[in-house]
Amino acid sequence: MTPEQTRLAAALRELRARTGLSLAALAAKTAFSKSSWERYLNGRTLPPRTAVQELCRLAGEPDGRCLALWEIAESEWSGRATEAGRADTPEQASSPAADPLPRPPEAPAETAQGGGHRGAVTVAVLASVCAVALGGVAVALLLLPRHSDGPRTAAATASAPGPHCRASSCEGKSPIDMYCAATPDTVATHHTAAGAWLEVRYSKECGTSWARMWGTRVGDRLELTAGGRDRRAEVENAVDADNFVYTPMTVTRPGTVLRTCFRPAEGGKEECFDSVSR
């Protein structure tokens, strides 16, 4: 697994955790099977671009950042990045172009199930019309294995689990681990001079607020203050810098003033702003 694919898989796991969906429920809400999502989230297979977009939609996140990670990972996976590097050398320019490495399949078997039935009907019609010339081909096609995912069961369509805490029992805990980040309200968004993005979020179900940052560098710090309580987070390594980093939650009510401060790692100026929970 390439470092680019590792970063993409980590970002997808974080988004899936935010949705609170099991793999079966995730499969029920998208065009991709449970086993496929398991491979995508573990980094064993590069997901199709549409899978990344669907997961971002379910998590309520803009897909720009994850698609940028996907583009880099796909370039490494398919070999396009290597081929581009070779094309810059004199030897490559003077020799016949090599065939590019095969691109990962776009999971044609993991689309909506209706397509499989339409394909079977089409094959049957062709077989009847061209029974003499194409009979053998039609039979072979009909014997090909079909998509293994049958009709979704009722259990697969179960809704996402509810929060694991409420109000004071959430104090100081992770919004991801407690499933409070599935459908939060975005209270405020701020773009810092250092290039990092900040958001303040509020969960009505949990009765809590927290802040998060991305586009950061190792050593960047974030602090959320509400009602005299401080919740802090720091970008500790390169993996953190490639993903969202969250402060722990603090209990708030609608109308609570939230002060968020960002402290860049490399001697930049501290930036603070105020917002109000809804």
pLDDT, tens digit, 9 for 90 and up, residues 170-190: 999 998 888 887 778 889 999
Residue 240 CA to residue 55 CA, distance in Å, equals 20
Cα-Cα-Cα-Cα dihedral sign, residues 166, 171, 176, 178 = negative
Contact yes or no for 166/37 (Cβ under 8 A):
no
How far apart, in whole angstroms, are the C-alpha atoms of residue 214 and residue 237? 13
Retrieve residue 172's tokens. 């100081």
Instruction: Determine the pLDDT at residue 93.
Output: 39
pLDDT digits (tens, 9 = 90+) for 154-175: 333 344 457 889 999 999 999 8
d(CA 267, CA 278) in angstroms, rounded, equals 34
E strands present in the chain: 185-191, 197-203, 208-214, 221-226, 229-234, 245-246, 250-251, 257-263, 271-276
In this prediction, residue 271 carries a pLDDT of: 94
Q: How far is CA 29 from CA 8, 156, 162, in A?
A: 21, 9, 17
Token pair listed for 78: 């398919």
Question: Do residues 269 and 250 lie in contact, with contact meaning Cβ atoms separated by under 8 Å?
Answer: no
DSSP type of residue 168: G
